Amino acid sequence: MVDKGIIMHYRSKRIGLQDFVRGTLSGQGKMYETPIDIELIQSRDDGSDHEVFKVILLG
């Protein structure tokens, strides 16, 4: 856990869904009226076996 946020590990057999995950997280922030910042800090595109996102609460 990071200050006012989380580190989220996303694992899936399906490749290329990081934009979908980012959109889902963004939608959750809007649904709960909580501004968030989403950063992709690790990706399969860079050789990792899964994606890692840093999600920070801005509100």
The pLDDT, as a whole number, for residue 2 is 66
Distance CA 34, CA 4 (A): 12
Looking at the chain, list the stretches that DSSP marks H as alpha helix, in order from N- to C-terminal side: 18-31
Taking alpha carbons only, the member of 53, 59, 18 closest to residue 38 is: 53
What would the two tokens of residue 19 be?
């934009």
Question: Is the Cβ–Cβ distance between 43 and 31 less than 8 Å?
Answer: no
State pTM to two decimals. Answer: 0.84
Domain ranges of the chain: 5-57
pLDDT tens digit sequence for 1-59:
567 899 999 999 988 889 999 999 999 999 999 999 999 999 998 999 999 999 999 97
